[in-house]
Amino acid sequence: MCNCLNETLVEITERITDTLSSDADKSTLNVEYQNQFLRFDGKENNVMIGVSFDYYKIKKDTTRAKNKTKGNVNLAMSYCPFCGDKYP
Ligand SMILES: [Zn+2]
């Protein structure tokens, strides 16, 4: 498996570090992908594409609920988004 995600994260970290204000404690900087998971299915590509959705439920009196119901699903990528190599 290629190392593009890790290499890209290093580059992003460097860019973010360069843009931090002078009062930032750079030793506390933590940069990570938002949808990174520990996988138990043996696959190594652990960064997912996040898809969020929301909708209103219809109450029993047939009026629409006041608040939205929210959810999300994560899609595993079959190919590297940077170099196009197929993930094992
Ligand atoms: Zn790659």
Q: Within a domain: residue 67?
A: yes
Q: Within a domain: residue 16?
A: yes
Q: Within a domain: residue 82?
A: no
Q: How far is the CA of 75 from the centre of ligand 1 (A)?
A: 17
Residue 43 is predicted with a pLDDT of: 84
Q: Tens digit of pLDDT for each residue in 63-81? A: 999 999 999 999 999 999 9
Q: Within a domain: residue 86?
A: no
Residue 38 is predicted with a pLDDT of: 87
Q: How far is the CA of 26 from the centre of ligand 1 (A)?
A: 28
Q: How far is the CA of 74 from the centre of ligand 1 (A)?
A: 19
Q: Tens digit of pLDDT for each residue in 18-67? A: 999 999 999 999 999 999 888 888 888 899 999 999 999 999 999 999 99
| Range of the structural domain that residue 64 is part of | 4-76
Q: Within a domain: residue 22?
A: yes
Buried-exposed string 41-79: b where 16+ CB fall within 10 A, e elsewhere: eeeebebbeeeeeeeeeeeeeeeeeeeeeeeeeeeeeee
Q: How many domains are there within the chain?
A: 1
